[in-house]
Structure 1
Amino acid sequence: ARTLRQSDPQRALSLLQETRKRVESSGLEPTSRDQLLRRVDRALFETQQFIEQNLPRIELTERNQQVRGEIEREQNLKLEKQEKLAVMVDKFNKLMDEQRYAEAEVVAKKVEELDPNNPMAGQLNWYAKFVRRDMLNRRLRADKEDGYWLAMHRVDELSTPYDDNNPLQFGPVQDWSQLSERRRRMFRRDRRRTEREIEIEQKLKTPVGSLRYTNAPLHEVLKDLSTLAEVNIHLDPQGLAEEAVTPDTPINFEVRSEIMLKSVLHLILEPLHLDYVIKDEVLKITSEQLTEGEVFPIVYSVGDLVVPIPNFTPSTRMGLAGALHNAMGDAGLGGGAFFGGGGSSPMAVVASTDGTRSNAAINPGVLAQMSASGATPS
């Protein structure tokens, strides 16, 4: 404590106070303890007097130490920031050398976030943007030049005339066959099905004959048919439950001549209000209501229904209206009557009894006879 009194009196005072507490709580004899306490109290008194006598100098020293501590902390933070900046700048330069401009721009933004007041941070960010955009512009100019040259080169190639020594080629026949096959598959109505499902549909036409079942369970009958036609048949529990049918439902069926498998299935399933549907590459046996609920989209080719517009000018003589006009003209009913043209009126046709054309006026004598006979409404 006496050694620290000159350099750090506050710490010396704290040390003496802590020593006095330790002496008081020690298990020494009262005589020895009191002697030690008197020595500690004398040292405390001297230290307190020293602090009171040198208080301005002590406060100045403490303030100087505090300022020096803050300066040291700021310097340490600044050095740490500079070290981080140096590492990030080295990484930025390496990325720029490797032409990884987008990643370098990300590093430049981190540098700017770390030290926004540093002019170098903003310079790195702008430099990365400039180099990346310049690279994109150069690439775009190169692509435009290559595209323009390729287009003009194709024009020059197409300007080469054909002669007998270099005839026009339409490609291998195999390619055209594949195109035709793809076109047929595209317009095929059952293209929603897989190859396996199409095969099952073909096997439904398998002839089956000489069948006889007497109180045979439904699942055994279907198992025999599945073996005969080599088709996977699946019983739908939900569909059977809706019609109160179980796999053990007895079946009585007999056929002597050969009929197709689908006819046999209809004859067996119809009395049970069941039906079959090809789904999930199996022949599923389910209720009639569930089979009716199986909906799917089918795209039809309507190319034959497209009516070209001559000269892109709409007219009443085109499409369905034109067909109706031509039909009435062929029937001798005056094709233009319904479309604002000439010809006899429909009323004239009704009023004419001898098949000859007439005008729309009705003979009053005929009306009088009809009225007298009660043929006209009152």
Structure 2
Amino acid sequence: MHETSNTANRILGGVDTHKDLHVAAVVDNHDRILGTSSFAATRQGYRQMLAWMRSLGQLQRVGIESTGSYGAGLLRFLQAAGIEVLEITAPDRQDRRRRGKNDDLDAQNAAHAALAGARTVTPRTRDGMVESLRVLKACRKTAVTARRVALQMIHNTIVCAPDILRDQLRHMTRMQLVRTLAAWRPDLTAYREVEAAYRISLKSLARRYIELHDEIADLDMMIKAIVEDLAPELVARNSIGHNGAAQLLLTAGDNPERLKSEASFAALCGASPVPASSGKTVRHRLNRGGDRAANSALHIIAIGRLRTDEKTKTYVARRIAEGHSKLEAIRSLKRYIAREVFGIIMRRQQDINRTRIAA
């Protein structure tokens, strides 16, 4: 009787996250709405939200939208409090068309999904070295983009520059050009003159390029150190560089045990076979879903091995001889690489977990 009472008192939460305000809803184990309320997206607001949910019953789990952005802080808070958290992956479009949309309804739909286990996944934790790796890689990506734009601007400016400047710079390599421009000492008081304005602009762009180049080099050193700490066996494998390894670690997350098998990791990387049979034709096609950055990392590894590894060359040649296209052969190769990578990551995670238990 006591056990039945506890079961009846169980509740589930759902949260629609925003930059400054989170909307929370609670349902009971019969999927009935018990309440909806709004809280500030601050630690004080998180504490008030958790206290409010617990005041309505025994909190079983919480479904949160956007745990990778607006909901990241709430995710960390609830996990630290020992609350099971599910990420709500996508809205129910049929229900949204029928009922409309507002923040209260979105929070209630998240709570319904947490109860049913539909449209939910176990979110990646964001409190370990993989999260540090993600932040550094995101910073590096924007720096690389800005460096590329600076170089394009240099070349575009030179195209339009006076002939006296173009003749000096026409046949230089990229780094010769950048260093030459950065060393110029234009007359800053003569910026109204065309040639002086071009010299000032080119020097500014070159200095920007060098600063970004140095910033990227520093970030690469940090990323390399984290990757070698997390998975030294991964970068020791053929054709797996530090950037590719970093991306695959990011896809797996700080808690790769949430992935039930290597097949789920392959699907997450977009490397799993997708049936494309029709009539008498039985075949599989490339998977265009999943994490495209992880798929790109697997593709680079596959191409590298196809150039350097004899076993890989033999395998692809055999697949092509069997009637498969080269793309299908590479897709199969990426699937095997995903299996290899997942095994390495999981073994490393088991070692980390054993070390934590021993400590």
Note whether the superposition's TM-score is higher than 0.5: no
TM-score (norm 2): 0.20
TM-score (norm 1): 0.19
Structure with more contact order per residue of length (Cα contacts < 8 Å, sep ≥ 6): 2
Structure 1 or 2, whichever has the larger Rg, is: 1
